[in-house]
Structure 1
């Protein structure tokens, strides 16, 4: 009999602006809401600087006095674990005086592995199991679709990182967001072929894939043997105009809504008008006896507590444990 699906909630939705989520009392309230909504784990997101005290293991230790003190808070609120941590190695890190590292550069692979190892060590102590990383940089930063050489370089990098974090008992999992160069079926398939399945898994993000014009249910069917983590959120929109491929799409499309002025790209699961077929995905999970963390998100939400409640309600009906 397979292990049950475990329900987690991403805490990133509590941080809409860079200085809105900095004090321990704010963290505690968010963790209590997540626990009250029926989730047993919380996913963190990497960040940098004084305004992101939950962004790095060292920042957590500095804010709370120790890693153990923060984990004691997590468990006192009723949660079992920090399920996972999302990290984009391409983002700048003030603490390391780094402008970001590229997995496409073979010379930086060891540096990336060294930089990500503390996150895996934290997760091992926190009862987590997945270090989730951005599979490829934004498509607009590359000169066209990544060719075989770049895909091979990225795969070699993730194999290196996967081997490093595996020593902690944590598994590396590739995340594909709507802006990523990996948000294309052929590219993703090639990247998965080049990576070692014993070291590198795949995080299926339902809304990010849908916005990019991909069907998350079909991708699960194609790569179910690699999917080891879920990010569940809904969307009402597909980027049919290809704005995700334009320069600085992070601002022009995601933040500003693009030419259509989209107010929100991402919604709670089960939202009216949502495009993700969650019942079909849940049926696939049951058929495959899939187990792991299903982390619910609601990015761009104006009310994170309400979104956690709506996602919690839907989670307990979609994925009964």
Structure 2
């Protein structure tokens, strides 16, 4: 129905950090950025973190490691990348620098603190040529007292509206990410949460593999919420959680890390992997039909070889998406 949309290709750098001390030196950062650029991507997405072992986890950590934001951005551009496209942050994770054990978007008393904590990420992105501050939409389902009723969903939505308004002044937009463990990985809950948030302030990040593992069809989710989808996380999976293990206590360890009762070695794969369940051609057709524009950030979480995964994703990206 329309011409190809100007989709920009980005890559998530989090896959280069499988263990807490594996990605701490400047030369390691430079090598990863060069690989990302060589594979045809023009942006990099960072992931929020804390402490000395995560020097790219926070704007202040980048400044401490590189001397200034500008020095790091010079490195990014020197390697051939145009921007730090986006930053993923989960406000529920502990932050050593703020003496915080994590904050809940479900608690209205914590909304202002969440907004204050996330604002520096948006300010960094504005300087770095980025456009999306990606946040975990809701905490893990197992960690919440049931039921997650309309009142609590409305509390979360109000919080994200507060954060969205705070970061909008920087020119960066807030986007909600739904992972397979999140309480938002439910069609009704996601619809209710989006209905309560302000479309002018809050968008949706579509993560193809996370939704699939949770039993949702990412193409259908895009069809339903295409007017809210403003960021993409693209990766594949060969598995769906049919037994509800993702809802069990401490699923981060028992399900994602240890593979659950099936002993799944990897939940996530490169796009186009043989046996992959995500229908990427169908999603690409929908993107073209809606003239979708934005950053499509490729990922390969749990990969044993980040550089090889970036090459496979780069090959697939250049044949799949209009740019």
Q: TM-score range by the shorter chain?
A: over 0.9
Q: Indicate the residue corresponding to 2:171 in structure 1.
A: 169
For the 8 Å contact 2:6–2:322, the answer to whether it is kept is no
Partner Cα distance (1:318, 1:2) in 2:
12
Contact 1:139/1:145 (CA < 8 Å) preserved in 2? no
Q: Distance in 2 between matches of 1:286 and 1:2?
A: 5
* Superposition pairs of residues 52-91 of structure 1, within 5 angstroms: 52-91=54-93
Give 1:142 shift.
1.1
- Aligned counterpart for 1:222 among listed residues 221, 224, 240: 224
Residue 185 (structure 1) shift: 0.2
- Conservation of the 8 A alpha-carbon contact between 2:219 and 2:282: yes
Structure 2, unaligned runs of 5 or more:
none
Q: What TM-score, normalized by structure 2, do the two folds share?
A: 0.99
Aligned CA RMSD, in angstroms, stands at: 0.8
List structure 1 runs of 4+ shifted beyond 2 angstroms: none
Match in the other structure for 2:39? 37
Aligned residue among 199, 202, 209 for 1:200: 202
Aligned residues: 321
The CA distance in 2 between the partners of 1:301 and 1:2, in whole Å, is: 31
- Specify the SS of the correspondent of 1:311: helix
Q: Which runs of 5+ in 1 are unaligned?
A: none
1:220-262 per-position Cα deviation (integer Å, ceiling 9, x unaligned): 0000000000000000000001000000000000000000000
Pick from 121, 124, 127: which aligns with 1:122? 124
Aligned to 1:249: 251
Taking structure 1 as the reference length, the TM-score comes to 0.99
Residue of structure 1 in register with 2:189 after alignment: 187
Structure 2 CA distance, aligned partners of 1:312 and 1:195?
34
Deviation of 1:143 after TM superposition, in Å, equals 2.1
Tell me the secondary structure at the aligned position of residue 95 of structure 1: helix
CA distance in structure 2 between the partners assigned to 1:121 and 1:27 by the alignment: 21
Measured in 1, the distance between the counterparts of 2:96 and 2:175 equals 25
- Cα distance in 2 for partners of 1:58, 1:3 equals 35
**1:42-87 Cα deviation digits (max 9, x unpaired):** 0000000000000000000000000000000000000000000000
Instruction: State the SS of the aligned residue for 1:43.
Output: strand
